[in-house]
Chains A and B, each alone.
Chain A
Amino acid sequence: MRVPGRGLTQDARLVPFTFDGKGHAGRDGDTLASALMGEGVRLVARSFKYHRPRGVLSAGSEEPNALVTVEGVPNTRATVQEIWDGMSARSQNAWPSLAIDAMGVNDLLDPFLGAGFYYKTFMWPRTLWERLYEPVIRRAAGLGRLSGHADDAPFEKAWAHCDLLVIGAGPAGLMAALVAARAGADVILADEGARMGGRLLAEVDPVEGRAPHLWADGVVAELREMPNVRLLPRTTVTGAYDGGTYGALERVGLHRAPVAHRPVECFWRIVAKRAVLAAGAIERPLAFPDNDRPGVMLAGSVRTYLNRWGVVPGPRIAVYGNNDDAHRTARDLAAAGLKVAALIDTRGEARIEEAGFPVMTGARVVGTRGRLGLAAVTVEGVGGRREFEVDGLAVSGGWSPAVHLTCHLGGKPAWDERLQAFLPREGAVPGLVACGAANGVFSTAGCLRDGLRAAGESLEALGLAVPPVEVPEAEGEAGTVGPFVLASGGRQFVDFQNDVTVKDIRLSAQEGFQSVEHMKRYTTLGMATDQGKTSNVPALAVLAEALGSPVASTGTTTFRPPYTPVSISAMGAGGQGVGFAPQRLTTSHQAALQRGAPMIEAGLWYRPSYFPRPGELSWRQACDREVAMVRHSVGVCDVSTLGKIDVQGPDAAAFLDFVYSNTMSTLPVGKVRYGLMLREDGFVMDDGTCARLGLQHYVVTTTTAAAAQVMRHLDFVAQVLRPDFDVQCVSVTEQWAQVSIAGPWSREMVQAVVEADLSDERLPYMGCAEAAVLGVPGRVFRISFSGERAYEIAVPARYGASLWRLLVAQAESLGGGAYGLEALNVLRIEKGFITHAEIHGRTTAFDIGMERMVAKGKDCVGWASSRRPGLLDENREQLVGLRPLVRTGQITAGAHLYGRDAAAMRENGQGYVTSACWSPTFETALGLGFLKGGRARHGEVVRLVDAMRAVETLVEVTEPVFLDPEGGRMRG
């Protein structure tokens, strides 16, 4: 109900919204919780396990009960969600309705559903788990439902840097931010709430002689005008990480009607030189039988709803607490003209001024009544039992400082017996200072002073002077708190979200789960989405009592990020779809697309798969044609994606001798040599070509896949292993477009564009030259990856597209054309050339038949390791060719090899297939693979089995080179 004359939003316009399909109206600035309370709605949810009716407990993000689904987003806390015009919210966990919930029967099963229920009941028989137990449990228990669809709403992420991050904009945080801002520090002030001010918006005790929210508004207005201050309202700092990095979640669109492209939330990574934690404190409930009926609320929250939003759960409210702060709630309610049924204080010694309402000290609430909402409370005091008819009960078990962030780097908080609370340990997060209620300082005046202190310490560390600031006059009484009290019997809830009771915790202790961490896992306490913000300390008190030990030695709980749930969509913003990874395109990309080539991803690169022609029905037809083109006329292929590294310097030759297993210093200028790089453990890292353009100038190529790794490796060798070499390496992959022209007519075609003598005498196989290409300074290499006569022409990247178009047009006039990655692969398998399918990180030079390329007379990376006997064992798996005995036989990459008559079992494994293709040249399937002792087994027949694809083929082991083993076609 609304309370006339109360609240900061009295003049706000009305905002219509629906809850479970029913129309309501709230005020602009209301949360869903305050709006529903204003409308007289107390029942908002059903609990997780027992499906008990639940209402709003708190007024903040710690809320365990009031979880609703807003516009399809489950587990939204009604206490945080602001209402907007037309918003639709639904209750969760109830069927058919909140008032009549079929699963409420679980509540009657309580004796069977206690702690450890799942572990004890569903142990046996195991087979019933999948079919019976799990589906039933999943239907009965749970928190909201997922849509099952991908989240296509927009999310955002952002980074920020600052001198000082102030977390929380209550009295301490505002004071700290104001002081730091006036000192000239670059300040970010983040606060969970829509309106900054924290408890100053919820109290009536004046600050600087006026209503506290007016002081807050004044400070916020000053901060907003300052260029060195960024205000982040609706932003929860969720985690503290290394190096002064903080994660924060900003609600950008959740509080208003969705608009296309406006992010729902934004996940911030804030790097702060210093931080002030002014996150306040969280009130905890007291345990008593049936303490979860709708209408039972935290006392401080009742005050918040009354003073900030002008709403209460009903006209008659009792207040029950173990501390002085609870008395303020009774005072404010009475001042607003509401009926305070009773103020019940557990402490016998509590002093209470004449108040105009019944006061009971040394008393306890021992029971409640009311089916879907609180109707009455029973109190046991000095004079016996007495029942009060009420609509609400304001409960306070004291306040727990929000120390969570100080524990995120492993720090444990310290128990303070006087405050009955955990306090942050100094220095637990380097650079972060806690102050105000988060630091156990509970009076407003104390918070303001502590904020000033925290700012001062931070400014000193930043090397900035503290400006003169006057601390405003404010209420200075923090009051005292008594111990956590327990009642006996009944259902006393501690963790409302996971339905964990006092009895469950006692049972846990009794059954031997006595460490806090064991108790939590056994009872699931604190493991729901609220992470036990309101329940951790009460649970610890119950456990301490059960074990007969003081709270201090019973343990602490572990707080891990995030402080409040963070949607995966926000953390992963930008992490899907186009734009997530950079796209690397060759200069001929557009031209290839125009010819209808489907693209295939090779790392970040996009390469044409094949170039379809009219009448071709499958990629295979196109691929076969392209292979035949290269074998019989000429083909053109953009090979710019191969890594290209320019190596120069007086020691370039010695450097490459050290990097390659073979010798490059003896390579004459104008020649190219195939090279093998090893890792230091003796296995092959990469292969490629090395061209010598000058005495001190080489250009080396890498495979497309390993380009970045090889570049980093060359830097590593030059800077770490051999800083004595005078050599420079730089990647020029993007600077040069490179096109391969392969086939019997390649020389004629290349000669038409390159202004150099391409005769076999001047440019023999493995020759290279710098030459003008149609007037553009370029390079020509006579190298082949197909087994045919072939040339690669390199031109500065800006000429790549025109060169490619020109060459393809010429090739087409000769009966050839462009070829793609599929044909490239077939051509190289036919010729037995290897790729990273073969040099996959577990093969040595010896395995691929290149041990002679590990030069004996020099040191190189991997030399010593490559000599290990185990890497030279004749029985190792060695590269072989594979050809089916019959033409219809299939070969698939990934298939395993067995002896002809051996069973296809792991124990009989002889090797595996790394590459396979249909060879149009030989009209058979061909494969490359590794076979134990394979080099000595050419001619043998082995069995190829691919269990995944149900392929079984008898294959002949051959030389890995199928086409032209003597190399006459390449050399010409």
Chain B
Amino acid sequence: MRVACPFCGDRDRREFTVQGDDTSLRRPGRDAGPLAWHDYVHLRDNPAGRLHEIWHHDPCGAWVVVERDTVTHAVHGVTLAREAAR
């Protein structure tokens, strides 16, 4: 499996570290309350199909959002997390 790092191009998946879905792009405020924080820290959807995930390209240090199909393993798009977060 290969993921296209926006800086480095097509790279083997072994160069990446996966962090799970992209919930971390929607971090609650400090005082959002226990429920919001529980949701943020612990709960994740597990869809069969397309999912936005956060991956780290270890050699260059870029965090990227990978749109990946959990059934076919096809990668449908890669964007810089810095841009997705804005």
Q: Which residues of A contact B (CB under 8 A)?
A: 242-243, 245, 271, 430, 680-681, 711-712, 715-716, 719-721, 723, 859, 863-865, 868
Contacts and interface: CB of A to CB of B under 8 A. Distances in A.
A720 B2 contact: no
B30 A715 contact: no
Contacts of A715: 56, 61-63
A690 B24 CA distance: 26
Nearest to A714: B61
B54 to A, nearest CB: 6
A242 B1 contact: yes
Interface string B28-50: 11111010010011100000000
16 contacts: A243-B2, A430-B72, A681-B42, A711-B61, A715-B56, A715-B62, A716-B19, A716-B63, A719-B82, A720-B85, A721-B27, A723-B85, A723-B86, A859-B30, A865-B41, A868-B34
B58 interface: yes
A245 B10 CA distance: 14
A119 B27 CA distance: 55
Given A680-B41, A715-B56, A864 B30 contact: yes
B81 interface: yes
Contacts of B74: 430
Contacts of B81: 719-720, 723
A302 B31 CA distance: 80
A842 to B, nearest CB: 15
Contacts of B63: 715-716, 719-720
Contacts of B32: 864
Given A243-B73, A719-B63, A720-B85, A864 B28 contact: yes
Nearest to A862: B41
A681 B41 contact: yes
Given A243-B1, A681-B41, A716 B56 contact: yes
Given A680-B41, A864-B28, A865-B41, A242 B73 contact: yes
Nearest to A859: B30
A160 B86 CA distance: 39
Dominant SS at the A interface?
helix
Given A864-B30, A864-B37, A720 B54 contact: yes
Dominant SS at the B interface?
mixed
A719 to B, nearest CB: 4
Nearest to A858: B30
Interface in B59-74: 61-63, 72-74
A863 B56 contact: no
A723 B42 CA distance: 23
Contacts of A242: 1, 73
A871 to B, nearest CB: 12
Contact of B62 (A719, A865, A868): A719
Contacts of B86: 723
Contacts of A271: 2
B8 interface: no
B37 to A, nearest CB: 5
A245 B73 CA distance: 12
Contacts of B82: 719-720, 723
A245 B80 contact: no
A711 B27 CA distance: 20
A149 to B, nearest CB: 31
Given A680-B41, A719-B63, A719-B80, A712 B30 contact: no
Given A719-B62, A723-B85, 13 more contacts: A242-B1, A243-B1, A243-B2, A430-B72, A430-B74, A680-B41, A681-B41, A715-B62, A715-B63, A719-B63, A719-B81, A721-B85, A723-B86
A716 B56 CA distance: 8
Contacts of A723: 81-82, 85-86
A430 B1 CA distance: 13
Interface centre among B29, B37, B82, by most chain A C-beta atoms within 10 angstroms, is: B37
Contacts of A681: 41-42
A712 B63 CA distance: 9
Nearest to A679: B41
Nearest to B85: A723
B56 to A, nearest CB: 6
Nearest to A712: B56
A245 B1 contact: yes
A859 B31 CA distance: 9
A680 B2 CA distance: 29
